[in-house]
């Protein structure tokens, strides 16, 4: 129920009817066989529209359903490291975190300490800071490294947007490896043996 004394009214055709007392607006909507619905309650005065409330709710629900289809829930992923992790494994973990961040997920990166390694917690902090630098193009540190028992972890939040994807670089067409057939040199004319003309003979006279 609308309790404001006066409202701005838009009719069912989208025409502005101006500001009028709320009871008058309600009566006008009833006379036309529709409802009076607040569409901008925070305005001054609130904006109302004459419409079919049932149809209005149906359209709202349909739009929300369509919007949810295009939304992806953010997941919380985890990547675990060791203090003595090798470079190859470290790079693999970085690539995995980048894949998660590239689709909008949050990532918890944790360093596991074994035995007395926990007494050198600064190693784990340095490892996490280096990790954060390598993924900085895709995410930012949401929670800095914190030591919890035998594990030190930080949380990364994605900053990657679909429009940030690099444009595809077109590679030049590969050169044709097949060599074009070179024109064959014409063979020199072959001399043919022709019968020699008979030698001239002289007669004595």
| pTM (two decimals) | 0.47
The domain total for the chain is 2
CATH number of the structural domain spanning residue 107: 3.30.110.10
Where in the sequence is the domain holding 25, given as residue range(s)? 6-69
Q: Are 16 and 10 in contact (CB under 8 A)?
A: yes
CATH number of the structural domain spanning residue 13: 3.10.20.80
The model's pLDDT over 68-80, given as tens digits with 9 standing for 90+, comes to: 766 667 788 999 9
Mean pLDDT of the chain: 80
Q: Which tokens belong to 7?
A: 């409202």
pLDDT at 101: 93
Among 69, 91, 120, the domain-final residue is: 69
Q: Which residue has the tokens 């590679």?
A: 171
Dihedral in degrees, nearest 10, Cα atoms 156, 162, 165, 170: 150
Mean pLDDT, residues 47-52 taken together: 90
Report, in this order, helix, strand and coil percent for the chain, each rounded to 5: 30, 25, 40
Which phi and psi angles does 20 have, rounded to 5°?
-150, 160
Please name which of 80, 84, 119, 85 lies closest in space to residue 97, comparing C-alpha atoms: 80
The model's pLDDT over 86-139, given as tens digits with 9 standing for 90+, comes to: 999 999 999 999 999 998 899 999 999 988 888 888 899 999 999 999 999 999
pLDDT at 167: 43
Q: What is the DSSP letter of 190?
A: P
The rounded distance, in Å, linking the Cα atoms of 43 and 165 is: 40
The rounded distance, in Å, linking the Cα atoms of 152 and 83 is: 10
The answer to whether residue 11 is domain-embedded is: yes
Percent with pLDDT over 70 in the chain: 76
The answer to whether residue 174 is domain-embedded is: no
The model's pLDDT over 164-191, given as tens digits with 9 standing for 90+, comes to: 444 443 444 454 444 445 555 555 554 4
């Amino acid at each position: 129920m609308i309790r404001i004394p006066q409202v701005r009214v838009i009719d069912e055709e989208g025409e502005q009817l101006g500001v009028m007392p709320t009871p008058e607006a309600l009566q006008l909507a009833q006379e036309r066989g529709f409802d009076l619905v607040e569409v901008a309650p925070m305005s001054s005065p609130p904006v109302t529209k004459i419409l079919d409330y049932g149809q209005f709710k149906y359209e709202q629900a349909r739009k929300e359903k369509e919007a949810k289809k295009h939304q992806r829930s953010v997941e919380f992923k985890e990547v675990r490291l060791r203090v003595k992790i090798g470079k190859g494994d470290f790079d693999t973990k970085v690539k995995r975190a980048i894949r998660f961040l590239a689709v909008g997920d949050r990532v918890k990166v944790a360093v596991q300490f074994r035995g007395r390694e926990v007494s050198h917690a600064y190693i784990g902090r340095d490892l996490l800071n280096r990790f954060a630098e390598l993924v900085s193009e895709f995410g930012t540190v949401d929670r800095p490294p914190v030591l919890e028992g035998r594990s030190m972890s930080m949380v990364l939040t994605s900053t990657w947007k679909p429009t940030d994807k690099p444009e595809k670089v077109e590679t030049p067409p590969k050169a044709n490896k097949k060599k074009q057939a070179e024109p064959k040199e014409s063979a020199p004319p072959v001399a043919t043996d022709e019968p020699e003309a008979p030698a001239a003979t002289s007669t004595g006279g």
